[in-house]
């Protein structure tokens, strides 16, 4: 047999491999939903006339915390406070980049006192650079770190003037994005970062949550982004947490999970149905401590 080996055709039968996704160990701050309930409505998800099962919320939250620990991450805890039913949403209480902390200033009077409890936690845990905002700033709810730039949402909660304040306090470039759909009142329910260590960060988002101009900004910055469907967004599927390989997301976000798997990520579904009654998901319960 002098037949030449048909290398070309052998190669063409192999599907292009998804890139290798490397996890990095993370440190998170969380708050047990001991006093979780829905007794005021500050977003369209909240309906105080609907029953909330606090025990079930605690069980779901515990499973989320255990999931992070199983994945090798560290979870720090802050004490929950009575009369602050939304304190479980740690992501809203601070933005930490390179050990610098920008605290929160909540839009609603109901949540306002949370900011001081979190500020104290930072100070008591050795953070030297803690700045409190002078403008409404719901922290990682609206401020999303991609690894190179800070995406900053506005429209419902965080004041656009807080974006400039964040740039000055944290020393990172800020890009403002306009949110237009009240169901997606925070940036972190419309977009999340899949890979913040790559030279070109990779994100997933739901375009309809953004103004036309902001959509064009996102297209320009992230031409290869994962685009979520309406169903993925409507279960708060974009309120997900990625370590660069594992992506913890609501179990209902099945289309998103399939897209992530195609891109080489490992989707880890969790049940957050009780916590969703307040308009939050896994990411809302999780502040990343980027020390």
Q: Which residues are catalytic?
A: 186, 284
CA angle, 184 as apex, 181 and 187 as ends, to 5°? Answer: 115
92 contacts ligand ARG (rule: CB under 6 A): yes
Q: Which of 42, 115, 203, 248 binds ligand ARG (CB under 6 A)?
A: 42
- Are 176 and 154 spatial neighbours (Cβ–Cβ below 8 Å)? yes
Q: Which of 202, 278, 282, 288 binds ligand ARG (CB under 6 A)?
A: 278
- Which is nearer to ligand ARG, 101 or 284 (by Cβ)? 284
141 contacts ligand ARG (rule: CB under 6 A): yes
Q: Which of 279, 282, 287, 289 binds ligand ARG (CB under 6 A)?
A: 279
Enumerate residues 6+ apart whose C-beta is below 8 A from 9.
Answer: none
64 vs 132: CA distance, rounded Å: 29
23 vs 198: CA distance, rounded Å: 11
Neighbours of 129 (CB within 10 A): 13
- Convert residues 97-136 into a mask of x (bound to ligand ARG by CB under 6 A) and - (unbound): --------------x-------------------------
DSSP reduced 3-state for 75? strand
Say which DSSP state 285 is in.
G
With CB under 6 A as the contact rule, which of the stretches 14-22, 42-50, 51-59, 222-230 interacts with ligand ARG?
A: 42-50
Neighbours of 247 (CB within 10 A): 26
Q: Which of 143, 189, 247, 256 binds ligand ARG (CB under 6 A)?
A: 189
235 contacts ligand ARG (rule: CB under 6 A): no
- Which is nearer to ligand ARG, 21 or 203 (by Cβ)? 203
186 contacts ligand ARG (rule: CB under 6 A): yes
Half-sphere exposure of 270 (CA within 13 A, CB side): 30
Backbone φ and ψ for 152, nearest 5 degrees, come out as -130, 115
Q: Which of 34, 37, 43, 229 binds ligand ARG (CB under 6 A)?
A: 43
Say which DSSP state 179 is in.
B
Q: Which of 28, 61, 68, 89 binds ligand ARG (CB under 6 A)?
A: 89
Note the helical H segments in the chain.
Answer: 7-12, 54-70, 114-124, 160-170, 212-221, 230-234, 254-262, 273-276
CA distances from residue 57 to 60, 61, 86, 141, 282 in whole angstroms, order as listed: 5, 6, 12, 20, 12
With CB under 6 A as the contact rule, which of the stretches 60-68, 83-91, 171-179, 266-274 interacts with ligand ARG?
A: 83-91
With CB under 6 A as the contact rule, which of the stretches 86-94, 96-104, 123-131, 266-274 interacts with ligand ARG?
A: 86-94
- Are 131 and 169 spatial neighbours (Cβ–Cβ below 8 Å)? yes
- Which is nearer to ligand ARG, 119 or 186 (by Cβ)? 186
143 contacts ligand ARG (rule: CB under 6 A): no
At its nearest, how many Å lie between ligand ARG and the CB of residue 32? 16
156 contacts ligand ARG (rule: CB under 6 A): no
- Binding residues for ligand ARG, per CB under 6 A? 42-43, 46, 86, 89, 91-92, 111, 141, 186, 188-189, 278-280, 284
């Amino acid at each position: 047999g002098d037949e030449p080996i048909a290398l070309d055709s052998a190669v063409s039968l192999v599907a292009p491999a998804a890139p290798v996704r490397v996890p990095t160990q993370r440190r998170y701050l969380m708050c047990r939903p001991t006093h979780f309930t829905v007794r005021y409505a500050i977003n369209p998800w909240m309906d105080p006339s609907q029953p909330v099962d606090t025990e079930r919320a605690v069980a779901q939250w515990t499973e989320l915390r255990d999931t992070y620990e199983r994945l090798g991450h560290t979870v720090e805890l802050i004490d929950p406070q009575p009369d602050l039913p939304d304190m479980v949403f740690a992501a809203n209480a601070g933005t930490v980049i390179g050990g610098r902390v920008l605290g929160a200033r909540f839009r609603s009077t109901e949540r306002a006192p949370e900011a001081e409890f979190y500020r104290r936690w930072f100070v008591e845990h050795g953070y030297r650079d803690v700045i409190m905002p002078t403008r409404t700033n719901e922290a990682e709810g609206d401020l999303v770190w991609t690894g190179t730039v800070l995406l900053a949402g506005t429209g419902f909660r965080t004041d656009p003037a807080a974006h400039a304040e964040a740039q000055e306090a944290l020393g990172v470039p800020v890009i403002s994005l306009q949110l237009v759909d009240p169901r997606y009142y925070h940036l972190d329910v419309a977009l999340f970062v899949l890979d913040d260590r790559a030279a070109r960060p990779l994100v997933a988002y739901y375009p309809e949550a953004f103004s036309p101009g902001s959509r064009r900004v996102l297209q320009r910055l992230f031409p290869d982004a994962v685009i979520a469907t309406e169903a993925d967004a409507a279960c708060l599927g974009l309120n997900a947490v990625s370590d660069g390989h594992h992506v913890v997301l609501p179990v209902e976000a099945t289309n998103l999970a399939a897209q992530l798997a195609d891109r080489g990520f490992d989707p880890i579904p969790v049940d957050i149905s009780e916590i969703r009654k307040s308009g939050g998901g896994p990411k809302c319960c999780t502040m990343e401590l980027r020390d």
